Amino acid sequence: MVAVSQDWPVAELDPVRRMRVVAASTPGVGYAEKLIPAPFDAVWDTASDLERELPRLLTDVRSFEITSARGERMTARARGWLGQRARFDVVLRPGWCVMQSRFLIGGMAAAPEGDGTRFAFLGGLRLPGLRLIDPLLRPPAGALALRPIRRLEDRLRVR
């Protein structure tokens, strides 16, 4: 027997790769990623400040309020400019954030890459039947997912 299992190579996935997995296995979502020329801590300090930054990154969100938190799990209340409200379950930890309401899913991930940070954004609807039109939705939704990343870059220049 070859008794060296502790020395065998193990493949590891950083948060951005994990977000790619969530994106590819979730019908109807938009996904984009970009290399941001800023250190991980600066990028994630901004992106993870959900109450302050989400309304700036997502133009249809007026406010995002954390209503309870236990470790990395939280609940939040989002309000839109047209008065719509949604309760979100959120998981937030360094380099990783996923959130979902009854009808929406969102996610952000970040991982150091060279001198910069690879940042991923995911957003979309949770509706039955989206799997059927998934190939149609992906390209336009992907373009939409790039916008919050560009806004984050703008925010990083300001902060």
| Contact positions vs another protein (CB under 8 A) | 1-2, 4-5, 7-13, 17-18, 20-22, 24-26, 89, 91, 98-100, 105, 107, 126
CB closer to another protein out of 13 and 42: 13
CB closer to another protein out of 21 and 143: 21
CB closer to another protein out of 20 and 79: 20
Question: C-alpha angle 138/139/144, rounded to 5°?
Answer: 95
Distance CA 155, CA 142 (A): 21
Report, in Å, the least distance between residue 44 CB and another protein. Answer: 17
Report, in Å, the least distance between residue 3 CB and another protein. Answer: 8
Q: Which two tokens stand for residue 118?
A: 């690879």
CB closer to another protein out of 50 and 156: 50
Report, in Å, the least distance between residue 14 CB and another protein. Answer: 8
Torsion angle in degrees (nearest 10) through CA of 55, 139, 149, 121: 80
SS3 state at 38: coil
Report, in Å, the least distance between residue 74 CB and another protein. Answer: 11
Beginning with the edge strand found earlier in the chain, give each strand of the sheet holding 29-36 in spatial order: 29-36, 116-125, 104-113, 96-100, 85-93, 73-80, 61-70
